[in-house]
Amino acid sequence: MAAGVSLALWYAGLSTLLQNAFVLTPRNGQLKQPTFWIGVLLIVTSSLAVAISVGRFGGRRAFTFLGGGFLGLAALSLFASWFFGIDILFTPIALAAFMSATTMQVKRLRDQDQELTEHLIVSLSKLDSRKANDAEHRLLSGLKLLENVLSPTEAVVFRRDGLGKLVSSARLRVSGGSDTGRNSAWREGVSLCERAMAAGELIVEKIESPDSSTNIALPLRHENRTVGALLLRVTQDFGDDDRTLLTAVGGQMARNLQREEAHNLTDHQSSLDFFSAKASQHRLQSLYVLNGALLEQSVGVNALSEIGDGVALAYLDGRIAYANASLLALANLTQDQTRDISFFDLLNSFRTDVFDEPAIAVRRVLQTSEAYERELHFADRNETYGLRISLVEGDSRRASNLEVTRQGDAPQPLCLALVIRDLTLIKEYDQLKSDMISLMSHELRTPLTSINGFAELLTQDETLPEQAREFVTIIANESQRLSRMINTFLAVTKLQRKDRQEVLKIPLRLDEVVRETVASMQPVAKKRRIRLVELPTQGLPPVAADKSMISQAVKNLVSNAIKYSPERTTVTVSTALEAEAVRLSVEDRGYGIPAEVRDRVWEKFYRVVREGEDKDEESTGLGLSFVREVVEQHGGTVDLNSEVGRGSKFSFTLPRL
Ligand code: ADP
């Protein structure tokens, strides 16, 4: 285009005047003009050369050789005209080159500007992605917070509209509140806000009204710019403490208002944006919003100072990004010292025999992205800490730029995290628990066995009076019950501590287990006048399981079904084949279990309290927790359907072989 314009000027003879300045009257007096096509060639080639060099090297770098070329060409023009009487078309060429360079430079600037805008819009849309009307929602939420803490009768957030007038952006009116709805009161509020915004400070003004309320106007400032105002009307006293509170909330509201403003100027991009002051204004607004968002993003890290565990974050170059007070105390460091040390130095202060090579641990975490966990015991202080080093990964869509977004959403490693948790107390409780268990399994069982043994001996003694024999029988039965309870408790506890692999699994046919259990439970069922039936499925595949454990679990379910059903009802034990598992169900027409405790019946010691039900002597609340523990150890799941007054269906699955 530049070449075309310049050619036209030349051809029309409009550049002749200027041209004459760069040619000398030749010695032979005759100045030869090049032909039209040579002119086209010269002008087009030079424009293209200039455009390419500016495009390639940028305006500033190209300027040096373009300047040199200009001077050289001027000299050449004078020389050629003086000696050879040839006009080399210096002015049209220079004009074309100048226009070409300018156009190219403007194009480059515009491209970059467009890219910048595009990035800004993408970054902004990431902020707003969660909700279309996020900004308004945030403003209202801020007002609700004020409603809770200051109970104003009215709260309004104002912003300036296109004409510079204050308009309401969000409003909260408490029913039965003030009369700000009236025009005069509204105008009063607006003018108070105007004054507060002009003064740049909070203004409190008592108003003459029967409920002696106070108007408060707070300018909302973000990035040193007043973006709006908050008007509150309260009936209670407004003290200095409340000022601090309001200023704090006001800061957040200003950010929200800024967000709304930016949201309203949505992105109708055009290629002329580069020349538009309004478009630049939009971009500036977007930057304000992004700065506000940056501040909000620091919420997460700063909250870490409030937690009891020691937490440190390190950039992937080993610098420490953050360490909370608990961690500094544990590592015996001050905040200033963390600036000079690396993540490895920090880890070194937790070195023990189980954690003697921090570098290897970090390397493994970086290689595998899997957390590294160790329990550190410091014998000198008698303290135990849980150490965890992990790689924190960010959502690539949020953390990165456009390019990465296009590549896909693979998580992007952000930083390394170190968490140190004090386990000393937990360890003490653990110790207490195992002491308890060993007390139960040895110390309690031994005297119980002898009480039971001697009581049984005495029941055989014919010489004892009738009543004494009755008492001794009670002692014998009760001591047996106690030892059964201890055994169940120990069985559950032992199962919980066991590694899953330790359960001895051999092929087992569940229908056989059902047959045996039903047969062994028939006498108990008969005693309670309950019909106990089995409903086996033919051709069931075997499961891999420990027979005695599974039999005990089924027995617990059947005995519960009998125990918690009224007389003359039926208990059905059935098996069924599912996709990858075999299911065993025990169904009764008994009392049922209320929905709200349905999950809790599987807990240790949990018992359902039913009105009018006798306190069952044999009940320990351990039976179902044993069932669940056994089933889960085998890789299965438990399930319960129940309706109060109608009955229950307890079932479990075991993976088929
Ligand atoms: P226990 O029977 O020794 O009390 P469980 O762990 O076996 O302990 O059962 C926990 C609670 O679940 C019991 O207190 C009982 O009220 C309730 N429950 C268990 N099975 C049934 C059932 N089939 N029908 C109604 N309630 C049941």
What is the mean predicted confidence (pLDDT) over 505-526?
93
129 DSSP assignment: T
* Three-class SS state of 508: strand
Residue labelled with tokens 């930057």 = 287
Ligand 1 probe mutation, 556, 598, 607, most atoms within 8 A of CB: 607
The verdict on the CB of residue 482 being under 6 Å from ligand 1 is no
pLDDT for res 399: 46
Name the residue at shortest CA distance from atom 8 of ligand 1: 621
In order, the DSSP letters of 140-203 are HHHHHHHHHHH--SEEEEEEE-TTS-EEEEEEEE-TT---TTSHHHHHHHHHHHHHHHHHTS-E
What is the mean predicted confidence (pLDDT) over 79-102?
87
- As beta bridge partners, residue 531 has 570
The tokens describing 241, both together, are 């403490």
CA of 621 to the centre of ligand 1 (A): 7
Residue 306 has pLDDT above 80, yes or no: yes
Q: Which of 158, 147, 135 is nearest to 219 (CA)?
A: 158
Ligand 1 probe mutation, 559, 624, 650, most atoms within 8 A of CB: 624
Residue 266 has pLDDT above 60, yes or no: no
- As beta bridge partners, residue 258 has none
Ligand 1 probe mutation, 487, 554, 560, 570, most atoms within 8 A of CB: 560
Residue 492 has pLDDT above 70, yes or no: yes
pLDDT for res 176: 54
The verdict on the CB of residue 620 being under 6 Å from ligand 1 is yes
CA of 560 to the centre of ligand 1 (A): 6
In the chain the first and final C-alpha atoms are separated, in Å, by 79
CA of 572 to the centre of ligand 1 (A): 17
Q: Tell me how far apart the alpha carbons of residues 158 and 624 are, in angstroms, rounded to a whole number.
A: 62
Q: Tell me how far apart the alpha carbons of residues 657 and 582 are, in angstroms, rounded to a whole number.
A: 9
Q: Tell me how far apart the alpha carbons of residues 363 and 353 are, in angstroms, rounded to a whole number.
A: 18
pLDDT for res 265: 63
pLDDT for res 641: 95
Ligand 1 probe mutation, 484, 562, 564, most atoms within 8 A of CB: 564
Q: pLDDT (tens digit, 9 = 90+) per residue, 145-157?
A: 888 888 888 899 9
CA of 589 to the centre of ligand 1 (A): 14
Name the residue at shortest CA distance from atom 23 of ligand 1: 561
Q: Name the phi and psi angles at 300, rounded to 5.
A: -60, -55
Residue 406 confidence class, pLDDT cut points 50, 70, 90? very low
The verdict on the CB of residue 619 being under 6 Å from ligand 1 is yes
Residue 401 confidence class, pLDDT cut points 50, 70, 90? very low
CA of 593 to the centre of ligand 1 (A): 8
**What is the CB neighbour count within 10 angstroms for residue 131?**
10
Q: Tell me how far apart the alpha carbons of residues 19 and 6 are, in angstroms, rounded to a whole number.
A: 12
Q: Tell me how far apart the alpha carbons of residues 11 and 5 are, in angstroms, rounded to a whole number.
A: 10
Name the residue at shortest CA distance from atom 7 of ligand 1: 623
The verdict on the CB of residue 626 being under 6 Å from ligand 1 is no
pLDDT for res 511: 92
**What is the CB neighbour count within 10 angstroms for residue 546?**
18
Summary count for the chain: helices (H), strands (E) = 21, 17
The verdict on the CB of residue 560 being under 6 Å from ligand 1 is yes
Q: For the chain, give percent helix, strand, coil, nearest 5.
A: 55, 20, 25
What is the mean predicted confidence (pLDDT) over 37-46?
89
What residues contact 195, with CB distance under 8 A and at least 6 apart?
Answer: 203, 217
Residue 249 has pLDDT above 50, yes or no: yes
Ranking 283-292, 442-451, 554-563 by mean pLDDT, the lowest is 283-292
CA of 623 to the centre of ligand 1 (A): 7
The tokens describing 501, both together, are 């692999």
The verdict on the CB of residue 607 being under 6 Å from ligand 1 is yes
The tokens describing 135, both together, are 């900004």
- As beta bridge partners, residue 419 has 311, 388
CA of 607 to the centre of ligand 1 (A): 6
Q: Tell me how far apart the alpha carbons of residues 91 and 79 are, in angstroms, rounded to a whole number.
A: 15
pLDDT for res 142: 86
What is the average pLDDT value for the chain, to the nearest integer? 85
The verdict on the CB of residue 604 being under 6 Å from ligand 1 is no
Q: Tell me how far apart the alpha carbons of residues 281 and 69 are, in angstroms, rounded to a whole number.
A: 40
What is the Cα gyration radius of the chain? 43
Q: Name the phi and psi angles at 27, rounded to 5.
A: -65, -35
In order, the DSSP letters of 301-347 are HHHGGGSSSEEEEE-TTSBEEEE-HHHHHHHT--TTHHHHSBHHHHH
**Residues present in the chain in total:** 657
The verdict on the CB of residue 608 being under 6 Å from ligand 1 is yes
pLDDT-above-90 percentage for the chain = 33
Q: pLDDT (tens digit, 9 = 90+) per residue, 53-77?
A: 888 888 888 888 888 989 998 899 8
C-alpha distances in Å from residue 532, one per residue of 565, 575, 618, 627: 12, 15, 20, 20
Distance of CA 52 to the CA centre of its chain: 49
pLDDT for res 400: 45
pLDDT for res 269: 61
Residue 421 confidence class, pLDDT cut points 50, 70, 90? very high
Residue labelled with tokens 């319960």 = 640
CA of 59 to the centre of ligand 1 (A): 85
Identify residue 141 by its one-letter amino acid code.
S
Identify residue 348 by its one-letter amino acid code.
N
The verdict on the CB of residue 594 being under 6 Å from ligand 1 is no
Index of the ligand 1 atom closest to the CA of residue 608: 16
Name the residue at shortest CA distance from atom 19 of ligand 1: 560
Index of the ligand 1 atom closest to the CA of residue 647: 24
Q: pLDDT (tens digit, 9 = 90+) per residue, 156-198?
A: 999 888 788 898 888 887 765 555 557 788 888 899 999 999 9
Ligand 1 probe mutation, 565, 608, 640, 648, most atoms within 8 A of CB: 608
pLDDT for res 604: 85
Q: Tell me how far apart the alpha carbons of residues 387 and 419 are, in angstroms, rounded to a whole number.
A: 6
Pairing verdict, β 531-535 and 570-577: parallel
What is the mean predicted confidence (pLDDT) over 499-510?
78
The verdict on the CB of residue 624 being under 6 Å from ligand 1 is yes
Q: Yes or no: say if 512 and 537 are a contact pair by the CB < 8 Å rule.
A: no
The tokens describing 389, both together, are 């080093």
Q: pLDDT (tens digit, 9 = 90+) per residue, 107-151?
A: 888 888 888 888 887 777 777 654 556 777 888 888 888 888 888
Q: For residues 401 and 603, which has the higher predicted lDDT (pLDDT)? A: 603
Q: Which of 489, 541, 500, 513 is nearest to 632 (CA)?
A: 500
The tokens describing 136, both together, are 């308004």
The verdict on the CB of residue 105 being under 6 Å from ligand 1 is no
The verdict on the CB of residue 590 being under 6 Å from ligand 1 is yes
CA of 601 to the centre of ligand 1 (A): 7
**What is the CB neighbour count within 10 angstroms for residue 545?**
29
Residue 445 has pLDDT above 60, yes or no: yes
Q: Which of 358, 366, 364 is nearest to 342 (CA)?
A: 358
CA of 534 to the centre of ligand 1 (A): 21
CA of 654 to the centre of ligand 1 (A): 22
